[in-house]
Amino acid sequence: MENIIFYFSGTGNSYSIAKGLEKEIGDTIVVPLLRAKDYKVEEYGIVGFVFPVYYTHVPEIVIRAIEGIRFRKDQLVFALATYGGSWGYALKDIREALSDKEIILQEYKIKTPGNYILEYSAFPRSYQEGILKKAERKISKIASSILESKRTGYIKANLLARMFHKRSDKQRSKFSELGSEFFASDKCLNCYQCVKLCPTDNITLSEGILVWGSKCAQCMACIQWCPQKAVSHPLVKKSRKNYTNPKVTISQRGDLVLKEN
């Protein structure tokens, strides 16, 4: 029976890990989570979800997409959170969202380079490489655990997330407001890659100018992948460096794909 892994990914970390698992597990397809309604999930073998952590929680868009999925009784489902330093309540969110489904749920997390350019620059290359190497090793271990249907237990919130949960909640409540402040500078060549990448169709063209609306999920795809570095935000200092996963690129159609070696 073929397996299916769904991913949500702004800058390629979660996508790259989903592809790594596909290779290790075999007989698996990797699909954007937002296209889940096109698939009969209950007809697949193992079902996986790979997604980033946003302010110590699962992005709302991920929860909404997962809630709509129908599973088979006793289907093996795994949730894997990618995070920069504090995974927080992410796995608890998924556990709760799936609590009424009669499935077997495995929980995993993998540390990846942080991508939140509104707060910080990309980490130095050597540091990124170190984190990504460790992530690679973890992919193999997780794939074995998935194939053996091991019981993983609950992943509880880390101390840092518990200590700063009020600040995180406040930041999450600003996503829509912050999202509407992105803009394209005069370096923009109207390739509209940002428009194609946006998971919420939040970027539109108004009188020849790109405008960001109020539906932003804060995935950072528009700003991080812009080939001209034309997308910016009032919170982003000029010296800040972009981050996208080094193994991933964007296809002509505007989909995340692995780079060819």
Ligand X SMILES: Cc1cc2nc3c(=O)[nH]c(=O)nc-3n(C[C@H](O)[C@H](O)[C@H](O)COP(=O)(O)O)c2cc1C
Interacting residue with ligand X among 14, 75, 193, 202 (CB under 6 A): 14
* DSSP 3-state of 41: helix
Exposure of 129 in the CB half-sphere (CA atoms within 13 A): 3
Assess 112 for contact with ligand X (CB under 6 A). yes
Q: In 3-state terms, what secondary structure has residue 83?
A: strand
Number of residues located near ligand X, criterion CB under 6 A: 27
Would you state the structure tokens that stand for residue 253, as one six-digit string?
Answer: 């159609």
**Residue 123 within binding range of ligand X, rule CB under 6 A:** no
Minimal distance, residue 115 CB to ligand X, in Å: 4
Residue number with CB closer to ligand X (42 or 169): 169
Judged by CB under 6 A, which of 4, 5, 6, 11 binds ligand X? 11
- Residue 83 in contact with ligand X, rule: CB under 6 A: yes
User: Closer to ligand X at the Cβ: 71 or 225?
Assistant: 225
Structure token digits, residue 171: 């930041």
Q: Decide: is 202 part of the binding site for ligand X (CB under 6 A).
A: no
Q: Which residues pair with 211 in a beta bridge?
A: 204
User: CA 179 from chain center: how many Å?
Assistant: 17
Of the pair 30, 71, the CB lying nearest ligand X is at: 30
Least Å from the CB of residue 255 to ligand X: 14
Site residues for ligand X, window 18-57 (CB under 6 A)?
52-56
Q: Where are the alpha helices (DSSP H) in 37-151?
A: 60-67, 90-97, 125-147
Q: What is the end-to-end Cα distance of the chain in Å, rounded? A: 30
Q: Binding ligand X by CB under 6 A: which of 44, 218, 226, 247?
A: 218
CA neighbor of 197 nearest in space, from 208, 212, 209: 212
Closest distance of CB 185 from ligand X, Å: 21
Dig out the tokens for 36 from the structure. Answer: 């889940």
Contacts of 256 (CB under 8 A, 6+ apart): 9, 12, 15, 248, 249, 250
Residue 84 engages ligand X in binding (rule: CB under 6 A): yes
Residues at the contact surface with ligand X, assessed by CB under 6 A: 9-15, 52-56, 82-88, 112, 114-116, 218-220, 245
